[in-house]
Chain A
Amino acid sequence: MTTATIDPTTRTVPPFGGLNRTILRIEIKRMLRNRRTIFFTLVFPAGLFFAFGGTQGWDDSAGHGNVAAYIMVSMALYGAALTAASAGAMVAMERALGWSRQLRLTPLSPVVYISIKAVVALVMGALAVLVVNAAGLFQGKPDMPVGRWIACAVLAVLCTLVFAALGVFVGYLVPGENAMQILGPGLALMSFLGNVFIPIDDHTSLIWHIAQWTPMFGVAEITRAPLTGELPWYAVVNALGWLAVFVLGAAWRMSKDTARV
Chain B
Amino acid sequence: MTQTQLSQIATGHTPVPAVSLSGVTKAFGAVHAVRGIDLELQQGEIVAFLGPNGAGKTTTIDMMLGLSRPTTGEVAVLGMEPRQAIARGLVSAVMQTGGLIKDLSVRETVEYTASLFADTKPVDEVLENAGITAIADRKVAKCSGGEQQRLRFAMALLPDPALLLLDEPTTGMDVEGRRTFWSAIRRDAEQGRTVLFATHYLEEADQYADRIVLISQGLIVADGTGSEIRALTSGRTVRATIPDADGATAESLAAIDGVDGVELRGDTVLLHARDSDAVARYLLTETDARDLEITSKGLEDAFLSLTGPSDTEGN
Q: Which residues of A contact B (CB under 8 A)?
A: 1-9, 11-15, 18, 20, 22-23, 26, 29-30, 33-34, 94, 97-99, 101-108, 259-261
Contact = CB atoms under 8 A, between A and B. Distances in A.
A11 B89 contact: yes
Contact of A106 (B97, B113, B192): B113
Contact of A18 (B65, B88, B116, B191): B116
Interface in B124-163: 155, 162
Interface of B: 6, 9-10, 12, 15-16, 42-45, 65-68, 78-80, 84-93, 95, 97-104, 108, 111-119, 155, 162, 189-193, 210
Contact of B9 (A9, A20, A97): A9
**Which secondary structure dominates chain B's binding surface?**
loop
A21 to B, nearest CB: 8
A261 B98 CA distance: 13
Given A34-B103, A102-B100, A8 B9 contact: yes
A98 B95 contact: yes
A20 B115 CA distance: 7
B98 A6 contact: no
Nearest to A99: B101
Given A2-B44, A7-B15, A12-B119, 9 more contacts: A1-B45, A2-B192, A5-B15, A8-B85, A94-B101, A98-B100, A101-B67, A107-B117, A260-B68
9 contacts: A2-B42, A6-B15, A6-B90, A12-B88, A18-B115, A98-B99, A99-B101, A101-B98, A106-B86
Nearest to A18: B116
Contact of A9 (B10, B102, B113): B10
A105 B93 contact: yes
Given A11-B90, A106-B116, A4 B190 contact: yes
A8 B117 contact: no
Contact of A23 (B16, B112, B162, B191): B112
Contact of A22 (B80, B92, B115, B118): B115
Nearest to B114: A22
Given A7-B9, A98-B98, A14 B117 contact: yes
